[in-house]
């Protein structure tokens, strides 16, 4: 067994050896606690028949734990300065491919087809850069990739929003956008003391598991998301007010909106945050003929 990368001493040694300085703009916070890493990986249920996709490997702390459990690991790293570091730290492992690329611009489907064609079971496991957590998640969800689950570390507040239930303060359009594709649960909290440098926020690990059956089937996905965004645009306003102000010519279509709401038994005075994903599905479908 090789010495873990993720200890404070080893991390400092590696950073010193390469004269590496953290870039705030890339949201670089490296994990320095092997127990936390083992715990994260355990939530991904990997076997040697699984492949793992990682975003932002840093100096390879999580990557090596993935390589020990999975058959193959593909890591996307945006920071060119880390490529020689990773080549060195991950040299004991022959089942890792590091791709120098911004995940937001990468063609992940092609990478899966070219590098992971032998694997039916693919899981995303990553310590996501906090400033782009949501765009990365939404990209991976919306591209219809054959991913079983994601086990991702992020700011605790964002994890709470994604996994929130209706009628709670954290529940919003982000909760619905993610829960439309995946079941979301926070599986562990992570204190800021296990990072170098220490972020000034608490972190959590979120596990997203693909639905066997989607929670709601809608006629027009894009419109469904447009409606959920509209309903939450001003949280204190009623559903009717938000729909009128956010939808094209909404003001002049008040009666049609009221009739549509009545047809699915939704009180126009309710607030968006009280509607379940199923109710939003019905709402989008009855409003579709009015606004499309």
Same domain (yes/no): 66, 177: yes
Task: Confirm whether residue 102 is marked as ligand binding.
Answer: yes
Number of domains in the chain: 2
Residue 2 within a domain: no
Measure the CA–CA gap between 188 and 205, rounded to whole angstroms: 5
Task: Confirm whether residue 192 is marked as ligand binding.
Answer: no
Measure the CA–CA gap between 59 and 86, rounded to whole angstroms: 6
Find residue 203's DSSP bridge partners. Answer: 155, 190
Task: Confirm whether residue 242 is marked as ligand binding.
Answer: no
Helices (H), 149-238: 156-162, 173-181, 221-231
pLDDT tens over the chain, length 292 residues:
677 999 999 999 999 999 888 776 676 788 999 999 999 999 999 999 999 999 999 999 999 999 999 999 999 999 999 999 999 999 999 999 999 999 999 999 999 999 999 999 999 999 998 889 999 999 999 999 999 999 999 999 999 999 999 999 999 999 999 999 999 999 999 999 999 888 889 999 999 999 988 899 999 999 999 999 999 999 999 999 999 999 998 899 999 999 999 999 999 999 999 999 999 999 999 999 999 8
Residue 144 within a domain: yes
Same domain (yes/no): 80, 147: yes
What is the extent of the structural domain holding 251? 221-291
Residue 39: count of CB within 10 angstroms of its CB: 15
Task: Confirm whether residue 77 is marked as ligand binding.
Answer: yes
Same domain (yes/no): 163, 127: yes
Q: Which residues of 202-232 are buried (b: 16+ CB within 10 A; e: fewer)?
A: ebbbbbbbeeeeeebebeeeebbbbbbbbbb
Same domain (yes/no): 104, 137: yes
Same domain (yes/no): 22, 150: yes
Same domain (yes/no): 190, 268: no
Same domain (yes/no): 206, 259: no
Task: Confirm whether residue 31 is marked as ligand binding.
Answer: yes
Measure the CA–CA gap between 121 and 212, rounded to whole angstroms: 15
């Amino acid at each position: 067994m090789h010495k873990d990368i993720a200890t404070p001493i080893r991390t400092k040694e590696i950073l010193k050896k390469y004269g590496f300085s953290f870039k705030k703009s890339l949201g670089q916070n490296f994990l320095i606690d092997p127990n936390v890493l083992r715990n994260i990986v355990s939530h991904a249920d990997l076997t040697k028949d699984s492949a793992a996709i990682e975003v932002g490997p840093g100096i390879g702390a999580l990557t090596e734990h993935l390589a020990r459990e999975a058959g193959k690991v593909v890591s996307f790293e945006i920071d060119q300065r880390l490529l020689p570091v990773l080549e060195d730290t991950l040299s004991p492992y022959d089942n890792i491919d590091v791709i120098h690329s911004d995940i937001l611009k990468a063609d992940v489907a092609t990478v899966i087809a070219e590098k992971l064609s032998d694997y039916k079971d693919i899981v995303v496991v990553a310590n996501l850069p906090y400033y782009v957590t949501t765009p990365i998640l939404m990209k991976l969800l919306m591209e219809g990739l054959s991913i079983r689950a994601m086990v991702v570390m992020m700011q605790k507040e964002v994890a709470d929003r994604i996994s929130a239930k209706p009628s709670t303060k954290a529940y919003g359009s982000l909760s619905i956008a993610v829960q439309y594709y995946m079941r979301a649960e926070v599986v562990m909290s992570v204190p800021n003391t296990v990072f170098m440098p220490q972020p000034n926020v608490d972190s959590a690990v979120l596990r997203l598991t693909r639905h066997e059956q989607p929670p709601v089937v809608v006629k027009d996905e894009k419109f469904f998301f447009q409606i959920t965004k509209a309903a939450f645009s001003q949280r204190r306003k009623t559903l009717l007010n938000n729909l009128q102000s956010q939808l094209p010519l909404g003001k002049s279509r008040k009666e049609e909106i009221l009739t549509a709401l009545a047809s699915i038994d939704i009180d126009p005075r309710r607030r968006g945050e009280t509607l379940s994903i199923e109710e939003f599905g019905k709402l989008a479908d009855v409003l579709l003929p009015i606004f499309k």
